[in-house]
Chains A and B, each alone.
Chain A
Amino acid sequence: MAGVPKRILKEIERLHNDPAPGIDVTPVNDSIRYFQVVMAGPSQSPYQGGQFKLELFLPEDYPMSPPKVRFMTKMYHPNIDKLGRICLDILKDKWSPALQIRTVLLSIQALLSAPNPDDPLANDVAEQWKANEKRAIQTASEWTKKYAM
């Protein structure tokens, strides 16, 4: 386990020197385990133009268990619930210790571009998404304007 804090430091360094486009990661209170993230809504999506806040926490046994990530900004998305919890396989059973903060955040960004209403976390949103996608996308875009700009 001796190498693990080193890994976190290295990740922070890499995120700093070579930030992922549209993703800004800031350590909170100089902690090496708790981060504030600001993610830009991907273009060509109802979240375009929005700035979404997330919190990211690296548990004690990271990277053996996945980081805990949660949206702090309210959003209308079938795989993100009212509390901002995210339904994403790599944050659960498909986690691999070779994944990183960067890959996790990129995956979340990809999830914003491609919602998956067949595996929903927020059931009401997913139903709306399936029944009337156009309308749902409109709502998502309205929410983005209201909460994320």
Chain B
Amino acid sequence: MSDYGSDDFMLDDSEEGFEYSDSDGDGNGEGPLAEGGSATGTQPSQAQHTQTQTQGEYSADAAFDDDDDDYFMDDSGFEPVLSRRNQRKPWEVDFKVYAQDGLSAKQDAMVSRLEPLLALSKETTTLLLRCYFWKEEPLLEGLLTDREGTLAKVGLPEHPPSPRIETGNDAFVCEICYCGGGDERYLTLWCGHRFCSDCYRTYIASKAQEGESWRIRCAAPKCKTLVGLEPARLVLAGDAAALARYEENLTRSFVNDLDTFAWCPAPNCEYAIECQVPRSAWATTIPTVRCQCGKAFCFGCKLDDHTPAPCYLVDWWAQKCHDDSETSNWIKANTKECIKCKSTIEKNGGCNHMTCRDCRHEFCWVCMGPWSEHGQSYYSCNRFDEDSSKNARDSVSKSRAMLERYLHYFTRYNNHEQSARLARRLLAATEKNMEQIQREHTLSWIEVQFLSEAVDVLSMCRSTLKWSYVLGYYMLSDNQKIIFEDNQSDLEMATEQLNELVENPISEDGPSIEEFKRIVIDKTTYVRTRWETILADIIAGLQENRWQFEAE
């Protein structure tokens, strides 16, 4: 999609994109702090450490001076189409994927930026930043108001001496291994405590094994001085595995300590994601990010992509489903509720004269009215229309209706989840189909791509539909909800039609391959357009508080 490089019309796009993120109030327009070495490219490339992406599309904010593309400027016919394709969609957010070395570069950049500003050594700056969870403002404020106190916090002087491993001190005895003498190599931290370098190596290596890094303190009892990165690296120099572990912990703590960074939750994935959407915006924006490894997840709750339902609704829903979904079907089919205390009662035999075990209320199983009014007509209830039994039924049916309402939404939610799973299987089948069509109709590989594209669109729609039912469940009824549901049912219908088309691609008496291809492409385009419209509308609706959501 970015084969055209970047032209002036793409500059427009990225500006629009940034405008959007600024309206979030996240200040994304300024971009990440240290762009230094990080490459933002127009071509997907493994070689780059970091990439700015908007939902898998590589952003085009680099290389504006690319002369080769000038002729596109004249070809105004392409312009609207291309700009629409590269524009960030309203439901997408800016994010960046970092590999390990990209993370190190990012940390270095943050330190070097602040180092001259603070007039402190690199080591001290690094430790201070880490102590302040990489938040520059409170750190600067702390240093301005109480420089000494703030430095005391990390237990480091402004310019700590470079650590050296020394020998030749006959009086030296290491307090850890009790070895000593002139041959013993030892390290003195600036707090004055000295231990032999072997013991320090074992000490730091064992702490690193526990996941510690910069928080490791001097080995002397009760000493609060941080060992610091430079001395640690110095003593670990002989132990490559421990050093690697230590460095890994440093990076790990960097990502964990920053609110704007998170690890990709996919198993064995080592990428980290930076996303500037603030926590306060998570109720109206769904910060969906896509890792280099392909995993799409929500930056807020780290669960799988749940666009367009905001995190808090997903949380409510997860709890609700956890409590209810398995049992509620059975309860609905087999039980009634006591009119008085709402205990759930299963009638497993006997007559219609029920006595609630919890509140001792006596009632009739058939009409749900109080038993006392049944008088002589035991065993055959003919009191259906009496007021008291009617009221009783009303209250029961109300709570049943709530259950049924939940099941309505849950069944649809669940159905889309299962269909999405089937869609993945469909993808495998589709690939086979594509090969078959290729063979039978002598088409090129690129000419049968329409099928896999259709399946992609299908999966996206399934996921969106699934979560839209969660939105619907908590949405209070009003005219706006009716519009929402109309949109939802439009997309649902179109999705089902597309699904049916793709599932039975070619039949003997069906349309010709050209005709079939045209139908699928048309339908795919239509579904995609519906999908985009609905997502954009939902996000806009969330941001302008168009709907009211209520927990139960």
Task: Identify the A interface with B (CB < 8 A).
Answer: 1-4, 6-7, 10-11, 61, 63-65, 90, 94, 96-99, 103
Other A-B pairs, 17, CB within 8 Å; known A61-B206, A98-B220: A1-B198, A3-B174, A3-B177, A3-B178, A3-B179, A4-B202, A7-B178, A64-B202, A65-B206, A94-B221, A96-B220, A97-B199, A97-B219, A98-B175, A98-B195, A98-B219, A99-B221
Q: Indicate if B357 sits at the interface (CB-CB under 8 A).
A: no
Assuming the A-B contacts A1-B202, A3-B199, A64-B206, are A97 and B178 also in contact, with contact meaning beta carbons closer than 8 angstroms in the complex? Answer: no
A1 to B198, CA, bound (A): 7
Question: Hey, which chain A residues are within 8 Å of B206, CB to CB?
Answer: 61, 64-65
Between A3, A4, A99, the greatest number of chain B beta carbons within 10 A of the residue's beta carbon is seen for: A3
B176 within 8 A of partner (CB):
yes
CA distance A96 to B177 in the complex (A): 13
Partner of A6, one of B179, B196, B222: B179
Q: Can you list 28 residue pairs at the A/B interface with Cβ under 8 Å? A: A2-B198, A3-B174, A3-B176, A3-B179, A3-B199, A4-B202, A7-B176, A7-B177, A7-B178, A10-B178, A11-B178, A63-B176, A64-B202, A64-B203, A64-B206, A90-B221, A94-B222, A96-B219, A96-B220, A96-B222, A96-B223, A97-B195, A97-B219, A98-B175, A98-B176, A98-B195, A98-B220, A99-B221
* Chain A residues closer than 8 Å to B178, beta-carbon distance: 3, 6-7, 10-11
- B: residues with CB less than 8 A from A are 174-179, 195-196, 198-199, 202-203, 206, 219-223
Q: How far, in angstroms, from A2 to B220 measured CA to CA in the complex?
A: 20
Closest residue on chain B to residue A11 by CB atoms:
B178
Supposing A64-B203, A97-B203, A97-B219 touch, asked if A6 and B176 sit within 8 A by C-beta, the answer is no
- Let me know if B219 and A3 touch, CB within 8 A: no
Chain A residue with Cβ nearest B221: A96
In the assembled complex, which residues on chain B have CB atoms less than 8 Å from the CB atom of A98? 175-176, 195, 219-221
Residue of B whose beta carbon sits closest to that of A99: B221
Which DSSP category, helix, strand, loop or mixed, fits chain A's interface?
A: loop
Complex formed: what's the CA distance from A10 to B223 in Å? 24
**A contact residues around B176 at 8 Å (CB):** 3, 7, 63, 97-98
Kindly provide the distance from the CB of B176 to the nearest chain A CB, expressed in whole angstroms. Answer: 5
Residues in B whose Cβ lies below 8 Å from that of A6:
177-179
Distance to closest chain A CB from B507 (angstroms): 70
* Docked-complex contact A3 and B203, CB < 8 angstroms: no
Chain A residues whose C-beta falls within 8 Å of the C-beta of B174 in the assembled complex:
3
Residues of chain B within 8 A (CB-CB) of A10 are 178
Across-interface contacts of B196 in A (CB, < 8 A): 3
C-alpha spacing A3/B185, complex, angstroms: 13
